[in-house]
Structure 1
Amino acid sequence: MAFKRSRTLAGRLGAGVAFVAGLVLPAVAPAADLQDPAAIQAHAEQFLKKQTAGLPGKVTIQVAAPRAALPACSAFDAFQPTGSRSMGKTTIGVRCLAPSRWTVYLAAQIRVMGSYVVTREPLPANHILSAADLALREGDLGSLPADVVTNADDLKGYRTVSGVAAGAPLRNALLRAPLAVQQGQSTRLVMNGPGFSIQSEGQALANASRGDRVRVKTPSGEVVSGVAQDGQQVVVAF
């Protein structure tokens, strides 16, 4: 009788285990079809390493994990949304191309430790920069405005647009490029069009930095508009 009861109890326990297993297995099985978030992060980091390879200084990258559970993916495609910064706080997108299609956006932090240009002393507006005005400082370029200047040699002859405080990072938006064309001076006109290029002389009607548009009076009295280039030259496209 004891043996029979033991077999009966064992049979009930076995049925119970089978029942529990039937409840647990369906909950575990779908997890195998979910994408490992670490793989998404790794793909995004690898993409950003390639994008930042040419940046000055030491680059460190941190990418946040996706918040939502996503279906498993065998083919990733990372990208940066239009308008995203190449350093500092930014956003990175990762698409799944197969077997299903989805897109996730991840927050990222790109730190670039390098040198940037600051002013030694307060500078007034319209001040022509010289080497004595400038100094280099080390810091995270990603925490600074995107147009901060990193090479002091690039600022030779530039002017300040407005007053600049001592120790302020110099940005391109705060500076005016050296004059390439001066008002009233003789100017070489280069007129380019389909299948031709003609050079002549003219007179600049305004000051202009390299890349600015400026009007020039020709010897015949006609006024044309072109783009200022170094050496008192203006290029007119037809």
Structure 2
Amino acid sequence: MLRATLLFVCLCAAVLTARAQTALDPALLERVRALAETAARAAAPASARVAVEIGQLDARLRLAPCAQVQPYLPPGMSMWGRTRIGLRCTEGSTRWNVTLPVRVAVFGKAVVATGPLPAGVNLSQDQLAMADIDIAAEPGAVFTEPGLLVGRVLARPLAAGDAVRAPALKSRQWFAAGETVQVLAVGEGFSVASEAQALGPGLEGQDVRVRFESGRVASGRAVGERRVELLL
């Protein structure tokens, strides 16, 4: 009986120790929240509202005691939607580095579908409305001007209230292969306009090769009706 009691006490102590090792100080959590909010606001519209929901560390972690924990933004990690904040021990017997899950919501006005829309539909004004949504809930840029979407074709279906995001739209073809296009070559402090022949179709936002009258071939981006931008 005594041995069983001692075993139970040891197990309880182990559980409490594990919890203490993965628990985070409230002040540290506020620093995490502030870091995530600041990073999210840097990419959000000025009028947007940011809300951060902080998750929990993996309960299986066994972190050594640390006098100073520094939150940081992992390289290449976007602070929109479901993401992670880094935590590293800078003052402790054992230096450790973990990540903490967070969910960042960014509420702002965006164009949404007024009703269910099938793929392939040509968007009209009455199918679009403005609504306050979490623009960080899904990947893809949103739109804030319904008029800019009139006549665009949906690449996938949308439910009522869904945001019309860039990936949901079919790419526009600005010109065909063989057409003469205006090429704007842009460098640091200068820009030069000239004409060239498109060697492929100019799809919205995609690179296309063009041939100049001199015979030189270059690659630029299709940015508009018979227009290519070439960054030098």
Aligned residue for 2:140, secondary structure, equals: coil
Partner of 2:7: none
CA distance in 1: counterparts of 2:227 and 2:183, whole angstroms: 6
1:160–1:80 Cα change, 3 Å: farther
CA distance in 1: counterparts of 2:185 and 2:33, whole angstroms: 48
Name stretches of at least 5 consecutive residues in structure 1 with no aligned partner. Answer: 1-26
**Matched-pair contact (CA < 8 Å) for 1:134–1:152:** no
Q: 1:98 aligns with which of 80, 83, 91?
A: 91
Partner of 1:58: 49
Q: 2:222 aligns with which of 219, 225, 228?
A: 228
Aligned residues: 204
Q: CA deviation at 1:92?
A: 1.6
1:111–1:233 Cα change, 3 Å: closer
Q: CA deviation at 1:148?
A: 4.9
1:191–1:60 Cα change, 3 Å: closer
Does 2:72 correspond to 1:79? yes
1:190–1:90 Cα change, 3 Å: closer
Partner of 1:24: none
Deviation string for 1:140-176 (max 9, x for gaps)? 334x312151423584467325253452431211214
Deviation string for 1:172-222 (max 9, x for gaps)? 11214555445554322356799x976542333444245322233444677
Q: Which structure has more helix as a fraction of its residues? A: 1
**Matched-pair contact (CA < 8 Å) for 2:110–2:144:** yes
Q: 1:159 aligns with which of 148, 152, 155?
A: 152
Aligned residue for 2:35, secondary structure, equals: helix
Name stretches of at least 5 consecutive residues in structure 2 with no aligned partner. Answer: 1-12
Aligned residue for 2:66, secondary structure, equals: coil
Q: Quick one: which amino acid aligns to residue 222 of structure 2?
A: A
**Matched-pair contact (CA < 8 Å) for 1:186–1:202:** yes
CA distance in 1: counterparts of 2:227 and 2:178, whole angstroms: 13
1:236–1:141 Cα change, 3 Å: closer
Does 2:30 correspond to 1:48? no
Q: Quick one: which amino acid aligns to residue 153 of structure 2?
A: T
Aligned residue for 1:169, secondary structure, equals: coil
**Identity over the aligned pairs, expressed in percent?**
26
